[in-house]
Amino acid sequence: MRFMIAASVCLSAAFMGASAETPTAADNARIVETLEDRFAVLALDCVHREYPNKISHVLQSPEDAKTPRELTPAFYGCYDWHSSVHGHWLLTRILNTAPDSTLLDEIRAKLAKSFTPENFVGELAYYSGEGRASFERPYGIAWYLQLIAELEESDDPQMQVWRETLRPLEDAIVEKTMDWLPKLSYPVRLGTHNQTAFAFGLMLDYARTVENEAFETALVEKVLKFHANDVDCPLSYEPSGEDFLSPCLMQADLMRRVMSQEAFVDWLSAFLPGIPTDGSGDWLEPGIVLDASDGKLVHLDGVNLSRAWALEGIASALPSDDPRIASLMASSVLHRETGIAAVSDEHYSGSHWLASFATYLTTRRGISEAAQ
């Protein structure tokens, strides 16, 4: 199937802001041939779109009243810092997984504009500034480490240059996280940005990719301390009205990363005892979005995508003859179809971030790394 994206670069003149870049004729004539290209178009259209913007910014003085681009010169687009980071991750992921994409040159140009030494001097200065110890912790910084993992895995010379350009901020993030982990007394079980289970999964995959054994050990110890004895997760209470992550499923998807298969089989039985063995998929209903223009309500499109990859990840860690696999995968397919159908450029409230979740799902990020 071919997708013509004619107006995705200009969702609405009201959204663009005075400093937005004007789409070219080539932008408006862009033709994409795969789902991943369709998702890449949405990231290409937002990574350098400064407005609208929601910054999480503590002002220490009047001098801190600056524009997003002045504050964080690489990650100022896509509405907020974390969405910009995983929008850039999406583009690097396409470079690694879709060598025949028609968008490769455009992707490289966008990344080259962002990934400059000067921009990352600014990013590091911002992240290291006074009063920012918890900046984008844990969600945004976990996505940044996932971006590093994507660059680390590539043999492409340009991506290796970018990997070194991004290293100073990576080092600062890991140092701060290592300082934070011993102080974290309890897991955060929300279905939104502060959830620790999802972030720890991304961080673990990063630590193993770059072979940072100290970071991996610290994460594994914290995860087991938090969750090894958890039982009877109330999956029927999910989702909350603004969730984009399932607290129960993300925790299970995390635990399969830190336990042996035998131990995980038993742990999952105690943690989610209601998983069917009849191959049905409707035991877990997808979230319903009644207003996709509402930035909070549209989170539920994300919960469908993240549930789909978590269900698939959980199934991938079980023995091939486990009777729960069929129902896990049937529900994953149901959530996948519902979630992907919702990814569009109609509303910027969803288009600035949902494509990253969809790409994480369709490229099976996190599953192959864990299997290795």
Residue 320 has pLDDT above 70, yes or no: yes
State the pLDDT confidence band at 34, using cuts at 50, 70 and 90: confident
Q: What is the pLDDT of residue 32?
A: 57
Long-range contacts of 20-23 (CB under 8 A, 24+ apart): 20/49, 20/50, 20/51, 21/48, 21/49
Q: What are the residue boundaries of the structural domains of the chain, listed by start?
A: 1-183, 186-372
User: Which residue reads 């994953």 in tokens?
Assistant: 332
Q: Where residue 18 falls among pLDDT bands split at 50, 70, 90? A: very low
- In angstroms, how far is the first alpha carbon of the chain from the final one? 33
Rg from Cα positions in the chain: 20
Q: Give 257-281 pLDDT, tens digit per residue.
A: 999 999 999 999 999 999 999 999 9
pLDDT value at 8 more than 80: no
Identify the band that residue 128 occupies on the pLDDT scale cut at 50, 70 and 90. Answer: very high
- Please answer whether residues 323 and 268 qualify as being in contact, where contact means their C-beta atoms are separated by less than 8 angstroms: no
The CA-based angle 117-87-149, given to 5 degrees, is: 65
Tokens matching residue 306: 């993240």
Given a cut of 70, whether residue 224 has pLDDT beyond it is yes
The mean-pLDDT minimum among 22-31, 85-94, 213-222, 287-296 falls in: 22-31
Please tell me the predicted confidence (pLDDT) of residue 31. Answer: 54
What is the three-class DSSP state of 242?
A: coil
pLDDT at residue 35, rounded to an integer: 85
pLDDT for 371 = 45
CA angle (209, 353, 243) in 5-degree steps? 95
The pLDDT assigned to 33 comes to 66
Q: Could you give the dihedral angle defined by the CA atoms of residues 299, 293, 73 and 10, in that order, rounded to the nearest 10 degrees?
A: 140
Q: Given this model, what pLDDT does residue 130 score?
A: 93
Which 8-state DSSP code applies to residue 238?
A: P
pLDDT band of 206, cuts 50, 70, 90: very high
* Percentage of residues in the chain having pLDDT higher than 70: 90
So what's the pLDDT on residue 2?
30
Position 180 pLDDT exceeds 60 = yes
* pLDDT for the residue numbered 372: 39
Q: Do 345 and 11 contact (CB within 8 A), yes or no?
A: yes
Each residue of 239-258: pLDDT tens digit?
999 999 999 999 999 999 99
- What mean pLDDT comes out for the span 55-75? 96
* CB 94, CB 205: distance < 8 Å: no
pLDDT at 370: 42
**Statement: residue 236 has pLDDT above 80:** yes
Q: Residue 336 has what pLDDT?
A: 98
Give the chain's mean pLDDT: 91
**pLDDT interval class at 1 (50, 70, 90):** very low
Gap between the Cα atoms of 328 and 322, Å rounded: 11
pLDDT at 233 over 60: yes
Q: Which residue has the higher pLDDT, 112 or 372?
A: 112
DSSP state string for 149-196: HHHHT---HHHHHHHHHTHHHHHHHHHHHHHHGGG--S----SSTT-H
- The pLDDT of residue 14 is above 90: no
29 pLDDT more than 80? no
Lowest mean pLDDT among 25-39, 198-212, 279-293, 341-355: 25-39
- Percentage of the chain exceeding pLDDT 90: 89
Residue 297: band (very low, low, confident or very high) from pLDDT cuts 50, 70, 90: very high
187 φ, ψ (degrees, to nearest 5)? -70, 160
Q: How many helices (H) and strands (E) does the chain have?
A: 19, 2
Question: For the ranges 12-16, 33-37, 117-121, which has the lowest average pLDDT?
Answer: 12-16
Model confidence at 368, pLDDT cuts 50, 70, 90, reads low
